[in-house]
Amino acid sequence: MKILEQGPGWSMEMICTGNGNGGAGCASKLLVEECDLFITGHGYMDGSFDHFVTFRCCNCGTETDVNVPHRIRNVLMKAHRERNGVAWSHLKSFPAN
Ligand SMILES: [Zn+2]
């Protein structure tokens, strides 16, 4: 089946590159849907913290950071905050070394 007109559900073709996670992807071309994406956090030496939208390849298991539309990112971040409320505040207050 082909999508003639994209409905409310969102999907995007992505390549498994391992971008942001060591770069050792298997180069599979994947149709990634909103439910395949999750938020990962990268902490830095100065104590700051960045969030990335990530998917895990169903072929090799490598995680790849991707750019998605703001709407998708916002939905994912909201879910992430709700799910990890405690862990989130813990990370935010984690002391820099
Ligand atoms: Zn892969």
Q: What is the pLDDT of residues 58-81, one digit of tens each?
A: 999 999 999 999 989 999 998 888
**Exposed/middle/buried for residue 36 (C-beta within 10 Å: 0-12, 13-18, 19+):** middle
Q: What is the pLDDT of residues 83-94, one digit of tens each?
A: 876 455 445 444
How many Å lie between the centroid of ligand 1 and the Cα of residue 38? 16
What is d(CA 16, CA 21) in angstroms, rounded to the nearest whole number? 11
pLDDT score at 48: 81
How many Å lie between the centroid of ligand 1 and the Cα of residue 93? 34
Secondary structure (3-state) at 1: coil
How many Å lie between the centroid of ligand 1 and the Cα of residue 21? 12
Q: What is the pLDDT of residues 44-58, one digit of tens each?
A: 888 888 899 999 999
pTM metric for this prediction: 0.74
How many Å lie between the centroid of ligand 1 and the Cα of residue 46? 32
pLDDT score at 93: 47
